[in-house]
Structure 1
Amino acid sequence: MSRPRPGKDLGRIAAYRLTGFLGEGGQGVVYVGLSPSGDQVAIKVLHARLSEDPEARRRFFRQVDLARRVAPFCTARVLDMGMQDDRPYIVSEYVRGESLERAVRHDGPRTGGGLERLAVATATALAAIHRAGVVHRDLKPGNVILGPEGPVVIDFGISRALDHAVTQSGAFGTPGYMAPEQLSGEQAGPSADVFSWAATMVFAATGRRAFAGESVAAVLHALLYDPPDLSGVPEPLRSLVTVCLDKNPARRLTADDLVRALTGGATLTTPDLTPPRPTPPGGLTLARPAPTRDLTPPLPAPPGATLPEGAPSDLTPARRVLPGTTPPGGTPSDLTPSRPPGLTPARRVPRRAVLAVGVAAAAAAVAVTMWPRDPDRVRNPDPVRTTEPGLPFGAEIGKPLAGHTNDVRSVALGTLNGIPVTLTGSDDETARLWNLRTSQQLGQPLTGHTKWVRSVTLDQLDGVPIAITASDDDTARVWDLATGRSRILAGHTGDVKSVATGRIGGRHVAVTASADGTARVWDLRTGTQYGAPLTGHEGAVWAVAVGQVGGVPVAVTTGDDQTVRVWDLATRKPLGAPMTEHTGWVRSVAMGTLGGAPVAITGGEDMTVRVWDLTTRKPFGTPLAGHTGWVWSVAISNLGGVPVAVTGSEDRTVRVWDLNTRKPLGTPFTGHTDCVWSVATGLLDGRPIAVSGSRDQTARTWSLAPSR
């Protein structure tokens, strides 16, 4: 949990005044607030909507009431609960500090007495939780807060409460930390928490997971069938962890056993473990996917394939994405951006949002053609497979892009060395490049962020292909895709939710939007802020798009204050009054043209998509209505001369709209098993496509070719 954000009053939940935004998880959004007595509290507003069934609500509140009975040592006490606007909320003690996950990623594994105290405190907390009749069901490094008075376990009992109250797809838990019985659909009791505790201790001691893999399927396969990787875990903790990671829950220790063993009250010998092979859900056999095929040979990075002179020298080495390619062999004409017909030169990643659910918005990124450094690869870029000709409108192209171990929050399209690619950003704190022809990952993930990656975009800087990522760690990063190195853009005092690129005269810039209530402009050549921040939103700024209106470089931003705002990037001044037709938060935006006029499209909590004339700053026609859930993401394109919007929603669908008639084109695209956080549009081998990213941890590619 990060510290509270300074800012204005965010409203109230029942008797609690909200004073800051803390973050989101898979279950909901968390605020810091004040109780009627003036004490600081954490308030989690859950995104699951309970049914009208009184029995379902009774079971939910019963489970949370059990959580309130947990002894307060080593846990964040549950103080209150209730319903507001059909959404349950839970109030708990506010614990200052950072999560174990962030601490290990930032400072390295725990060692010595620090590791021992962590093991004892978390096992003690687990024992107290179990004595109250509660099962945590999602114990992981992110749910252990390193507070000023020692480690504290949070979020206990919430997953169980939700499981009693609503029906959701998939098992509760986090891949890599959940017990095998959670995956196979069996009853998850206290022994499942013990398994998760052991997996958490492995991460704390080593900085890596006990069950690893390059994809979710690989992680789950390892979880079900493979022994844990315990190298680096010191004794005697290793012996305890070994027993607790037994595939058979009956052979694990109890939390009370753990406390006794850790505090010298018991002696343990490690048994001979021969794990049974549990059956995955539905009787499926999980096989390890084939290793990712790297399409570019590992050659030395070409001279000049680094960020330009004059950039700060604090480039942070990261794992190479595409190992350095051959020296430039393209021509200057190859630098011309490629974008769907009808789009303005705006280059953007409309961004997204959260509130009670998670985050998200839109990555309606324009396709960008990168400098082809190997002419032979451009002539024959991929001998493996090309897209199938004649795929109808709405058909899924290739396989889902599966490899992230958490939600895919953002997507962007481009080409690299003649290969059509998608860049994805995820809650697993990485960004990844994918070959759209083969549905395979290219090279290693971009690693360096210490919190969720909210927004991604592709561009080029002085002929060098770059990616820009924005994260909840309050930073954005600029990545040189030839070397895999990054530069940090630091200055925001809150989560960076969105990033877009454009130009102010001859200056190549990025614009970032943040939970600190500002948008900021960055000179990409120097990595420094350019001019004053854009201020005016009341609350978090969730999405930004960049383009031009009448030759003036502008940014369009959206936020939790229900407004859409247009800014002159040269003067940093707003153009006109805020646009206020939405009736809830607005967390996605894209820019384009409609009938020759520059427009922005936005999506929000009111489940509508709205079009705005950026010259008059008035609504352009009627809203697009049809989604049955919040609209997290929007993109804009042109199909055979028809301007269209592509949208993604909490209702798990991607929809395409004719902007001239305001009618949907075809039926919704279905295939994702959870909400669609992000959409982008572009071209694949000359054919129009959309790419969507989802809470189901995948991205999918859809044909936008006209139906025949």
Structure 2
Amino acid sequence: MFRPLQAGEPTQLGDYRILGGLGEGGQGVVYLAERVSGERVAIKVLHARLARRSEARERFLREVDAAMRVAAFCTARVLDVAVDGDRPYIVSEFVDGSSLEDSVREHGPRSGGALDRIAVSTATALAAIHRAGIVHRDFKPSNVLLGSDGPRVIDFGIARAIDMTATGGSVGTPSYMAPEVIHGEPAQPASDVFSWAVTVGFAATGRPFFGQDTLPAVMYRILNAQPDLDGVPEPLRALLSRCLAKAPPERPTAAEVLHLLLGHGQIVTKPVDGDPAAVPPAEAPPAGVAPAWTPSTGMPPAGPPFAGLAGTSAPGTPPAAPTTDPRRKRSKLLVVGSVTSVAVLVSVIVLALRWGASDSPSTPTPLATTDIPSATTSVAARPYGRKVAEVTLGDEVNTLAVSTYTGQRAVLAGSTKGVAKVWKFGTRPSELAKLKNSGGEETNAAIDVGEVDGQAATFRRLRNGAVIVSGAERLEPLGPTYRGHQKMVYAIAPARVSGKTVLVSGDEAGKIHVWDPKTGKDSGPQPKAAGGDPVFGVATGTMDGHPFAVTASADDTARVWSLETGALGATFQGHSGDVFAVATTVMDGAPVGISGGLDRKIRVWDLRNGREQASFSGHTAEVACLAVGRVKGRAVVASGSFDGTIRVWDLRSGKQLGDPLKSPGGRVYSVVIAEDDGESWLAAGDVKGNVTGWSLGPASP
């Protein structure tokens, strides 16, 4: 399965023990390695020349970090990335299987259901990769591994990292390159679709469509000749033909490809680039929008941006009401907003910095600041901590989210007083809608915003513990009202369990429920929480391939729960007061939890055993919310506090980045980190309804 190590090869990288070699290529060497837990992983050690300069290292770390955001559907998840001395390396899930290239050459082309499975699985993976904002740039048969549970795509995002740090030349494999890449243009999602079509054609015929002889001959055919599709069965042949159009705009998106492969839309014969078998979709979804449902092969949902583990959560916010809690010093918590931990929303929330607020949906409203980045603005001019945007919801900002609304990406914000707003992206942003509770039992209910199965959604938390989940466009419930809780729900987070979207919620009485928003009923084994102390925060993720939830509680603890069995995992007991917020991420390949609360400290701990690894101090009041992300390729956590500040900490060194950021409205209830156009951003919502954005500095020096 793997070759023995040779003299001079590493035996240890970070926390990983190297067992042997798996392969070698132009990018570097791939090793089989083992975590302390015994779990096996694949480590790609790249050539030292890629990390000789500090700026190259930071570009490399940042680019590969983007790959960690890809939903783990038909991909080998990227688990970690680091530089050991002059050796950059990438840790990913180990797939025990041969490559599609080796398998076809050894056993021959695929046909029938076997070919269909390869086409659907790889299209699913490509849709997930593009949904995370990544271009693969080197899609080919050797980057498709045939695991026991189906095909997996690997090395997504790595070609971009290498290209940015190399001294010259382009990255890619000529037989699978798109025409525009050969012309020297930057690779784009349409380029991946072209490469996907050649890859699937190789699976069907055993040869690349444009040959594999001399490099000049192959490149000439890609630029000028029609592909040799003999041997590809219909209707797949017609779809591949359309994907191989010379002009990128004439190719379908990866989401449209998957849509057609699954039988949604007719394949109609129409000439494209001179090929009579080309296929325009009759019912393809809007570009970049995947079907809202999930096929058995796994359609990428709104996936976590941080591979394997992700989520941010802040305490829940019921309407102001008298409390019988004898611990009066803690009652101030009951005005804190709940941040739904939809990780994909965190990954793109930076776009919220480009919208404005208005009571009239038809009137474009500029932002409250003129320092808004344009496509041609140099990010080097924006130092850490410079305010770049400020808009208002009107009420306490309860949640922030980015999702699909009326077929376009939009920013949503929810409040503690039953009002949400939706803004359209663009250089002249305008308010699209103002959403309000309809009355009746919903009167005074807090409204959170988020996403369910790729579509914008609202979560209305009623005082009696009921929760109504609705599509944001019409506020029509997705299913019956959930009534499993008997007390006010403080925190809600979505998760994927057995291929289905569920919601994990915690309430005032300390009860935790896992339930289906479309049936309004409990789903699977329930966490066996004893109850008593309120659950203020929830974050979700996966660990070793298994879904879990982390809860923040008023009993001074944070707990890990299995969402497959309901069993209690590790319990963190390092805080000396209520825990208000939790988040999760991966450090050196190991899952970690981050928590904050009444004792004003941010604590980092091991999700497997609950042991504290570090703590950060600086806030002068309670820590109300957390968000994880990366700045200059380094893992960071941002903490928002009742003291009106947001602090950003380097998770490895424990040092604070820059001076504290000050919220204009005082108490900070929600905070998110994201990266966009080569710049890291932070956005925060406060008690007075402000959503403020700051630059965390350019992503590279």
Which category describes the TM-score, using the shorter chain as reference length?
Answer: 0.3 to 0.5
Normalization by structure 1: what TM-score? 0.47
Normalization by structure 2: what TM-score? 0.48
